[in-house]
Amino acid sequence: MRVFEHKNELRDYLDLKRGEGQRIALVPTMGALHAGHLSLVLNAAKENDLTVVSIFVNPTQFDNKEDLAKYPSTFEQDLKLLEGTQKEVVVFAPSVEEMYAEEVTAGKFDFDGLEHQMEGKFRTGHFDGVGTIVKSLLDLVEADKAYFGEKDFQQLQIIKKLVEKQHIATEIIGCPILREPHGLAMSSRNERLSEESRKEAAFIYATITEAKSKFPEESAEKIKEWTENQFVNHPFLKLEYVEIADESTLRPVKKFEKGKDYRLFIAVFANDVRLIDNIALN
Ligand code: PAF
């Protein structure tokens, strides 16, 4: 499997492959790969000839230095997992200097308000960082399609908006959330949880699944309040937010309307590990 560290080498290689008529996919990641990432790669490989997996922990999307420092890194294991897929994969693993040159700062983006909801409220500047790096990767790879997990549903909607507003030709494909046997959404951050904590954290999915069963009979307000209450006396999990929002605008909803799609979003701390999840209500 080829591993590129420099943009110009990757660009030359992809130009060659495109010249041979190959369809190219992009799966952007921050490494610490798990089955959720591999499912993105497998989806990409079904619809394309060559998949570029980028592995880059993007500093500008972290609002908290400690969180960035603690982000898991398992590069050698990541390569083994990708090799194990037996798909046509190339890895792009640049340094911070390669991606940002001198200035490690994010650009400013307007995602028509999607960026101000939920994660945007709690992680200042996060989506400017995501927009900056994803735009660089999309411009570099010029993929036919790029694949993102629905666990970061707000990010997925924002990247679709980025592509629309910046007239980027890559099609953005959202892929379903993969879950651990107890129900916890797969995430690189789960690496930082003990086996015991992972079991405890399964409470998040159990709760949002029960919340979903109340839709649409109960109001959004009631479902939100019920969900919040489940965490009040939890000995281990600390709720940051729960929101019920329209899938396309991500604006919080008060009253359900026919013909619209709604989703419940949640962020929870398990000790100092921040976990997010979401579930489609209809
Ligand atoms: O979802 C992620 O892992 C990151 O936000 C992404 C899309 C790779 C950008 O750094």
Q: What is the pLDDT of residue 270?
A: 96
Pocket test for ligand 1, best of 26, 29, 104 (most atoms within 8 A of CB): 29
Q: How confident is the model at residue 174 (pLDDT cuts 50, 70, 90)?
A: very high
pLDDT in tens, 96-143: 999 999 899 999 999 999 999 999 999 999 999 999 999 999 999 999
Check 6, 34, 37, 234 and give the catalytic one. Answer: 37
Q: What is the pLDDT of residue 94?
A: 98
Structural tokens at position 59: 């500093």
Structural tokens at position 238: 């600390």
For residue 218, the CA-to-ligand 1 centroid distance in Å is 35
- In angstroms, the CA 253 to CA 250 distance is 9
- Whole-number average pLDDT of the chain: 97
Answer yes or no: pTM beyond 0.95: yes
Q: Please tell me the least confidently modeled range out of 122-131, 188-197, 262-271.
A: 188-197
* 204-233 average pLDDT score: 97
Q: What is the CATH number of domain 188-277?
A: 3.30.1300.10
Q: What is the pLDDT of residue 176?
A: 98
* 14-25 average pLDDT score: 98
pLDDT in tens, 238-249: 999 999 999 999
DSSP string, 220-236: HHHHHHHHHHHHHT-SS
For residue 130, the CA-to-ligand 1 centroid distance in Å is 7
Structural tokens at position 134: 């994803």
Residue 24: closest CA among 139, 146, 135, 136: 146
Residues in contact with ligand 1 (CB, 6 Å cut-off)? 28-30, 58, 61, 130, 133-134, 152, 155
How far, in Å, are 116, 126, 139, 239, 279 from residue 251 at the CA level?
9, 18, 29, 20, 15
Q: What are phi and psi of 246, to 5 degrees?
A: -70, 130
pLDDT in tens, 131-151: 999 999 999 999 999 999 999
112: left (phi over 0), alpha (psi -120 to 50) or beta: left
Q: How confident is the model at residue 213 (pLDDT cuts 50, 70, 90)?
A: very high
Q: Give the closest residue (by CA) to ligand 1 atom 2.
A: 29
Q: Give the closest residue (by CA) to ligand 1 atom 5.
A: 130
Could you please state the CATH topology (level 3) that the domain comprising 2-175 is classified under: Rossmann fold (3.40.50)
Domain regions of the chain by residue span: 2-175, 188-277
Pocket test for ligand 1, best of 26, 92, 134 (most atoms within 8 A of CB): 134
- In angstroms, the CA 61 to CA 132 distance is 9
Q: What is the pLDDT of residue 282?
A: 93
Where helices occur in the chain by DSSP H, the ranges are 7-19, 35-47, 65-70, 75-84, 96-100, 119-122, 126-141, 153-165, 195-212, 220-232
Q: How confident is the model at residue 192 (pLDDT cuts 50, 70, 90)?
A: very high
Q: Which amino acid is at 198?
A: R
- In angstroms, the CA 146 to CA 274 distance is 26
> What percentage of the chain's residues is helix, strand, coil (to nearest 5)?
45, 20, 35
240's CB contacts (< 8 A; 6+ apart) are 122, 267, 268, 269, 274
For residue 67, the CA-to-ligand 1 centroid distance in Å is 14
**Active-site residue, 37 included:** yes
Q: What is the pLDDT of residue 114?
A: 98
